[in-house]
Chain A
Amino acid sequence: MKRNICFHFQISQPCRLKTYRFFDIGLHHDYFDEYQNHYLANRLAERCYLPANKMFLDLINNNDNIYLSYSISGTSIRLFQEHCPEIIESFKALIATGKVELTGSTYTHSIAALHDKKTFVEQVKLQEKILKETFGVTPTTFCNTELIYSDEIGEWLNELGYKTILTEGAKHILGWKSPGYLYCNPFQTDLKLLLRNYTLCDDITLRFSDKGWEHYPLTSEKYISFLKSLPADAPFVNLYFDYETIGEYNTKESGIFDFFRCMFTTISNSGDFRFITPNQAEDIEKECELSVSTMHAPWPISSAGDEKDTSEWTGNELQQEAFEQLFKLEPLYSDSKNETAKQNWLDMQAADHFAFMSTKWLSKSSVRRNFDVYPSPYQAFINYMNVLNDIKIELEKNTKKAAPAGKSK
């Protein structure tokens, strides 16, 4: 039996906030750092998205058995449309090959799944809408923000029609079990779970450029030998990366492009593996009569840190207050007619904003911190709360309920 190897890349650039002081509240509503957004979209396009897309397009054109999948957050799509539309075009070209699956995700890289069903469903639907509009795609696989998943979130997604979910092979949930098998939601057994092998992913994302690592330099031969040493009866190897792994976290000079090109070509020509996209998992299950076991996740898991839980975003008091104040505005969002304020509220749900408030001091070194612009978690929190307070005022001003009463003249 050939082992199935599932590559998935996530693109989730947030709208970055600029410094917004308390004395700006009520005065102006330009919260986002358009310069940074423009600069980073273009920098990432140049270093990562465009060359990586070209590399994969060439690989797909030259080998007929290469498949891969992406998730692109709605915020990223909007940023690209505004600042670097050629990224969108290059993804369209990839999708047109028929070998690339675009999965569902949240619209603004939101952590709404940790709040409630209503806000989460809103995020999922908005993302479906923008995927349909931009790429003409309706996803059947879901990749949540930072792979956040729980039994309950699984049920919500099943209700929305999703068949497969990508999530983390979290050790504290799996125990001795391998992430290389096919799992399902315990309550909706039709909902399949493909679990990430995070050790193998971190080997590339975190360690590829680490000269102190024992396996440095990591060659494709070495990496494929890691893949081969996995338990032989496990039918899946699921590798999900931030797309920035190629070209940004590991620069072009590190040899990351050659590494991927060589690895994909070798795997494509070898008899041991075959590339799949997540939506093929169901067919493979039937075809190979795989056994599927249930995975219980009563509390949310994620790909964050070593804990693989949600403490990266809601671990300390600052994050909890920001989280609470943010989602308290949901009724205002539903009633408001101010489309800009509504969009801003959605953007404020991005996981990145919360990660900047994290006080897990050691995790400062994690790759996401590359984009941290705040001198401390406290300043990140203060800035966030200032913006949120202004959004609240804006949403309140234009609610449907308030409108008829209005301000008496």
Chain B
Amino acid sequence: MRVLMFGWEFPPHIAGGLGTACYGLTKGLAQNGVDVTFVMPKASGDEEKDFLKIISADNVVIDSRYSEFYSLNKDVSFIEVNSKLVPYIGMDDYFNVVNQMESGVFETWREGIQRKYNFSGGYGPNLMQEIERYAMVAAEIARQEEFDIIHAHDWLTYKAGIAAKQVSGKPLVVHIHATEFDRSSEGHRNSIVYGIEHYGMNSADMVCAVSDLTRNIVIEKYGVPAERVVTLHNAVEPKTTTVVRKKNVKEKIVTFLGRVTFQKGPEYFVETAKKVLEKDDNVRFVLAGDGDIMQQVITRVAELGIADKFHFTGFLRGSDIDQMFGMSDVYVMPSISEPFGISPLEAMRAGVPVVISKQSGVSEVLKYAIKVDFWDIDATADAIYGLLHYPSLTKMLSENGKAEVDNLKWESVAAKLKRIYESVLKK
């Protein structure tokens, strides 16, 4: 079986969780004997290629003689979007992304009727144009490549997936890592993004959602019939390096790590910290990350008068994250809405006990985690206090949690996905 998969990014150059998930999933599929052709807007050439074939869209020659191209081209609508729109991307910080990545779609090469397009593969202001161009290239790829089924990750690639389906007549599976309902709060939703999501999900032969939580959103908010939506939980890649436990302060450390945006609930983390600090002086709270409500959060910390015990690290990456986990005694994820949420798994893998909100997809797969409602700061504070003061609880969650996470393997997720493919192909 061969899958034509459309993604937006792939390690090592990633801005967030989507690329990591694509990596794990494609590797897992390879282990299950499924071949993957992975298409992305702009490959850097240093991707790991030994288990899949990578096509970079900016290398594809488009022959405009084909009628499909014209029909697609006609539909292409370039929509200028406000650059403040934050399209999905994991825990990373959008603002950095915008600054780091140049964007724009333009022809790079032209010979008669043939041409190539440049892609940034980023999340910049010309995102909508890139999405349209990506779809045109997808149609061309679908004509050239041999495959049995199409798989498209998140709304950025839905148009590409649909184009490939139209050209080839092969079934389409779309994969929901996040929806517009997770990305933004009531009243701030982007109707264009919602429109593309709705179009993609309803054009697909099967929709995979990363959690039951997301599956319900797909069914309720996008009107996809329940029998066409399956839950496919994420897994986590085994860690090659071990996190060293090392702490330079005598106090216990409680950590929040993620984008400082409304959806991640950093404000609840601050209120919880206040509750705990009132009773227990021997603890420090660390908020690692950056984001659009940072100012608000800092102001609130000052207001509550806990700044001496509440620390901001700014945006962390790579080994800094490992070091942060290495010094943490408790990890807290108070997300208001989290389709999956891979970071608690990374904390658990480092042996850090976690307190996570029930409103996260990851809570569906974990037993050795304390689950609370994000809004219930008393319960969250109580869980943190328990983990700081009752050693058997910490020990149990740390040891069993690590074992639990080590058992969440992409290989078994991919095995389930393979069965989903087979069921779609049988139809």
Chain A residues at the B interface, C-beta cutoff of 8 Å:
19, 21-23, 25, 316-318, 320-321, 359, 361, 375-376, 378-379, 381-383, 385-386
Q: Which of A23, A316, A318 is the one whose CB lies under 8 Å from B279?
A: A23
Q: Does B66 contact A (CB under 8 A)?
A: no
Chain B residues with CB under 8 Å of chain A are 275, 278-280, 367, 370-372, 378-379, 381-383, 385-386, 389-393, 395-397
A386 touches B392 (CB 8 A): no
Instruction: Report how far A361 CA is from B368 CA in the complex, Å.
Output: 11
Assess whether A22 is in contact with B385, with CB atoms less than 8 Å apart. Answer: yes
Q: Which of B280, B370, B381 contacts A21 (CB 8 A)?
A: B381
Q: Is B378's CB under 8 angstroms from A317's CB?
A: no
Whole-angstrom distance between the Cβ of A211 and the nearest chain B Cβ: 26
Query: CB-CB < 8 A to B280: which residues of A?
Result: 22
Nearest-CB distance from A381 to chain B (Å)?
A: 6
Whether A23 pairs with B381 at a CB distance below 8 angstroms is yes
| Cross-chain contact B370 with A318 (CB below 8 angstroms) | no
Contacts of B278 in A (CB 8 A): 23
The smallest C-beta distance from B330 to any residue of chain A, in angstroms, reads 12
Residue contact A21 to B378, C-beta cutoff 8 Å: yes
- Given A21-B378, A23-B381, A382-B383, A375 contacting B371 (CB threshold 8 A): yes
Bound: A387/B15 CA distance, A: 46
Q: How far is the CA of A317 from the CA of B391 in the complex (A)?
A: 9
Q: How far is the CA of A394 from the CA of B267 in the complex (A)?
A: 36
A22 touches B381 (CB 8 A): yes
| Chain A residues with CB under 8 A of B370 | 376, 378-379
Contact B396 A317 (CB under 8 A): yes
Kindly provide the distance from the CB of A88 to the nearest chain B CB, expressed in whole angstroms: 37
Please indicate the chain B residues that have their CB under 8 angstroms from the CB of A318 in the complex.
Answer: 392-393, 396
Chain B residues near A25 (CB, 8 Å)? Answer: 279
Inter-subunit contact B382/A386 (CB<8 Å): yes
Whether B381 and A321, one on each chain, are in contact in the complex, defined by CB atoms closer than 8 angstroms, is no
14 extra interface residue pairs, beta carbon distance < 8 Å, beyond A382-B386, A383-B382, A386-B382: A22-B382, A22-B386, A23-B381, A25-B279, A321-B390, A321-B392, A378-B370, A378-B396, A378-B397, A379-B370, A379-B379, A382-B383, A382-B390, A382-B393
Main secondary structure of the interface of B (DSSP, over half): helix
Query: In the assembly, what is the distance between CA of A25 and CA of B279, in Å?
Result: 9
A-B contact number at CB 8 A = 62
Which A residues lie within 8 Å of B395 (CB)? 317
B371 touches A320 (CB 8 A): no
CB contacts (< 8 Å) of A376 on chain B: these are 370-371
Among all A-B residue pairs, the 3 with the closest Cβ atoms: A382-B386, A321-B392, A22-B385
CA distance A381 to B370 in the complex (A): 11
Name the residue of chain B whose CB is nearest to the CB of A318: B392
CB distance from B327 to the nearest CB of A (A): 23
With a CB–CB cut-off of 8 A, which chain A residues contact B389? 22, 385
Contacts of A320 in B (CB 8 A): 392
Residue numbers in B under 8 Å from A361 (CB-CB): 367
In the complex the two chains form, is A385's CB within 8 Å of B386's CB?
Answer: yes
Return the chain A residue nearest B370 by Cβ: A378
- Taking CB atoms, residues of chain B closer than 8 Å to A316 are 396
- Alpha-carbon gap, A21 to B389, bound state (A): 13
Q: How far is the CA of A110 from the CA of B397 in the complex (A)?
A: 27
Q: How far is the CB of B244 from chain A (nearest CB, A)?
A: 25
Are the C-beta atoms of B390 and A22 separated by less than 8 Å?
no
Most buried by B among A320, A359, A376: A376
Q: Is the CB of A385 within 8 A of B381?
A: no
| Interchain CB contact under 8 A, A321 and B279 | no
Which of A316, A317, A385 has most chain B Cβ within 10 Å? A317
Beta-carbon nearest neighbor of A23 in chain B: B279
Most buried by B among A22, A320, A376, A379: A22
A317 to B367: give the CA distance in the assembly, Å: 16
Bound complex: CA of A255 vs CA of B199, how far in Å? 54
User: In the assembly, what is the distance between CA of A361 and CA of B395, in Å?
Assistant: 18
Cβ 8 A contact of A378, one of B275, B378, B381, B386: B386
Given the complex, which residues of A lie within 8 Å of B391, measured CB to CB?
321
B42 smallest CB distance to A (angstroms) = 45
B399 nearest CB neighbor, chain A only: A317
Nearest-neighbour CB distance to chain B for A224, whole angstroms, equals 43
Q: Closest A-chain residue to B388, C-beta based?
A: A22
Chain A residues within an 8 Å CB radius of B392: 317-318, 320-321, 381
Contact B275 A385 (CB under 8 A): no
A-B pairs with beta carbons under 8 Å apart, 24 shown: A21-B385, A22-B386, A22-B389, A23-B279, A23-B381, A25-B279, A316-B396, A318-B392, A318-B393, A320-B392, A321-B390, A321-B391, A321-B392, A359-B396, A361-B367, A376-B371, A378-B383, A378-B393, A379-B370, A379-B383, A381-B386, A382-B390, A385-B386, A385-B390
Contacts of A321 in B (CB 8 A): 390-393
A385 to B389 Cα, complex, angstroms: 10
The chain B residue sitting closest to A324, CB to CB, is: B392
Nearest B residue to A25 via CB reads B279
Chain B neighbourhood of A385, CB < 8 A: 386, 389-390
CB distance from B271 to the nearest CB of A (A): 13
Partner of B382, one of A21, A317, A359: A21
A359 contacts across to B, CB distance below 8 A: 396
Distance (Å) between the CB of B384 and the closest chain A CB? 9
Distance between Cα atoms of A316 and B390 in the complex (Å): 14
Contacts of A375 in B (CB 8 A): 371-372
Max chain B CB contacts within 10 Å: which of A21, A316, A383? Answer: A21
Bound Cα distance A252, B367 (Å): 35
Given A21-B382, A22-B382; A381-B393 close (CB under 8 Å): yes
B382 and A382 contacting across the interface, CB-CB below 8 Å: yes
The CA-CA distance from A385 to B397 in the complex, in Å, is 16
Residues of chain B lying within 8 A (CB to CB) of residue A22: 279-280, 381-382, 385-386, 389
Tell me, in angstroms, the Cα distance from A375 to B389 when the chains sit together.
Answer: 20
Whether B390 lies near A381 (C-beta < 8 A) is yes
> Cβ of B379: which chain A residues have Cβ within 8 Å of it?
19, 379
| Bound CA–CA A382/B385 (angstroms) | 9
